[in-house]
């Protein structure tokens, strides 16, 4: 006689694996945001940009973004895109305004 399968434990194991995969995906997305330098953006701006990218129907623009992304991942250094507002640590802006946070 065959041993009966424990479906409950198998389902729990699958649910745990799915949860771990989702957590890893979220962590990797956060790492990607930091690696690209997008962590300096306001959360509302970043969310708006992502929503715009999702809603975009222009295939040529999406292909250009895809190529830029592929080039980013092929670059071993993974340097963030240059930002004009970047300053050396501890320096003040030239206009005398408050430094962005």
- Residue-wise pLDDT for 21-66, tens only, equals 999 999 999 999 999 999 999 999 999 999 999 999 999 999 999 9
Global pTM value: 0.61
Question: For residue 13, how far is the Cα from the chain centroid?
Answer: 28
Q: Is the pLDDT of residue 98 over 80?
A: no
- pLDDT surpassing 60 at residue 8: yes
| pLDDT tens, residue by residue, 67-77 | 999 999 998 66
Measured in whole angstroms, the distance separating CA 9 from the mean position of its chain's CA atoms is: 34
């Amino acid at each position: 006689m065959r041993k009966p399968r424990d479906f409950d434990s198998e389902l729990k194991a699958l649910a745990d694996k799915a949860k771990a995969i989702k957590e890893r995906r979220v962590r990797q997305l956060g790492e990607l945001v930091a690696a690209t330098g997008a962590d300096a953006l306001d959360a509302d701006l970043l969310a708006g940009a992502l929503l715009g990218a999702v809603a975009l129907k222009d295939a040529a623009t999406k292909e250009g973004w895809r190529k830029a992304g592929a080039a980013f991942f092929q670059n071993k250094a993974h340097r963030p895109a240059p930002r004009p507002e970047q300053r050396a640590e501890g320096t003040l802006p030239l206009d005398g305004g408050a430094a962005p946070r």
